[in-house]
Amino acid sequence: MTESHVVTLERHIIEAERSHPEATGAFSNILHSITLAAKIISREVNKAGLVDVLGATGDTNIQGESVQKLDLYAQDVIYNAMDHSGHLCCMVSEESEDILPIPEAFPKGEYVLVFDPLDGSSNIDVNASIGTIFAIHRKVSDGEDGTLEDCLQAGCQQLAAGYVLYGSSTMLVYTSGAGVHGFTLDPSIGEFLLSHRNIRIPDPGARLYSINEAYYPRWSVGQQRLMQHFKGLGDDSEPSFSSRYIGSLVADFHRTLLKGGIFMYPADSKNPNGKLRLLYEAAPMAMICEQAGGKASNGIGSILDLVPEGLHQRTPLYVGSAPLVELAESYLAENQAEMGA
């Protein structure tokens, strides 16, 4: 890319808004604030170990998980970057049990931001890739302040979804319903520059599966049979698959988006709804994947059709190349049929 032809995220959004005359500029303002937060978090992530953001706070969050210092740092950075914009009526964070209201001092707006401030917390201290996940919904209630009704909306109602990957480079990938676009942070100028225009999940994609195989004993028979198929062990075996698992959804998803394959976090006997959260992990990734030509399922049907009953509701997640997600659904349906027999 010659320097004179850089496309910044701002330019990309402005050009996209020109094709939506009804756009009010709110979305570009919200996304601009998210990029500011991403740059600040990226700076801390890239010097973690030199500043006091490693390790746990000693607290346990609503998820029952040990809160990492960077989890809370990232939440605070995002909240403070967004709370005064005048475009949000409330926010939802993985790290906060209840809705995060907009401070009285600031005007409220027509949108809801849901986010996982720091995804892949178990990888923070070992310098493996981590991320931030976000999605934007339109307010549906009448009042000024955001309510549960505004937050508990199906993924198909998302106006936009995206993630930031703090990896070998810091990337922001987002969709607002007109394709998926990736921007790489150039720290020397502090700008996210368009590096991946209109990402499409490859078809046929790489023969890669991504799953935490330690939980095999807890999976359903259908899930176990699916894995035997991928490993070439079943009678209808699928040869030449390889396995990749980083343990950060954002990193495992990003590889799946760029190379193809399937990421799975199934239900198991200990976690009947799996581990990942519907509102701010599965649904944003589902919108991105389907906008890129892939598919996202809870093993039975589309993630995007699921209406959350709680802010932190969990869901099984199968996401990636459509043929592989459909294969997974067929194995799980077979299992259901047998169980029902």
Altogether, the residues listed in the chain come to a count of 341
Q: Which of residues 264-303 bind ligand AHG (CB under 6 A)?
A: 265, 275
Pick from 28, 42, 85, 121 the residue near ligand AHG by CB under 6 A: 121
Q: Is residue 94 within the footprint of Mn ion (CB under 5 A)?
A: yes
* Continuous segment of H or E residues that includes residue 9: helix 9-18
Q: DSSP 3-state assignment of 160?
A: strand
Q: Tell the smallest beta-carbon distance from residue 19 to ligand AHG (Å).
A: 34
Number of CB atoms found within 10 A of residue 193's CB: 18
Mind giving me the DSSP string for 263-277?
A: EEE---SS-TT-SSB
Q: Give the CA distances from residue 59 to residues 67, 94, 155, 277, in Å, rounded to whole numbers and listed in that order.
A: 6, 14, 30, 20
Pick from 24, 122, 198, 237 the residue near ligand AHG by CB under 6 A: 122
Q: What is the DSSP letter of 193?
A: E
**Contact yes or no for 172/228 (Cβ under 8 A):** no
Pick from 116, 191, 290, 329 the residue near Mn ion by CB under 5 A: 116
Q: Which does 158 bind (CB under 5 to 8 A by kind): ligand AHG, Mn ion, none?
A: none
Which of 2-10, 83-91, 242-250, 328-336 is the region at the interface with ligand AHG (rule: CB under 6 A)?
A: 242-250
Q: Which residue has its beta carbon closest to Mn ion?
A: 119
Q: Which of residues 75-104 bind ligand AHG (CB under 6 A)?
A: 94
Q: Tell the smallest beta-carbon distance from residue 260 to ligand AHG (Å).
A: 18
- The closest of 266, 265, 228 to 249, measured between CA atoms, is 265
- The closest of 40, 21, 15, 33 to 197, measured between CA atoms, is 15
Q: Tell the smallest beta-carbon distance from residue 154 to ligand AHG (Å).
A: 21
Chain positions contacting Mn ion, by CB under 5 A: 94, 116, 118-119
Chain positions contacting ligand AHG, by CB under 6 A: 65, 94, 116, 119-122, 212, 247-249, 252, 265, 275
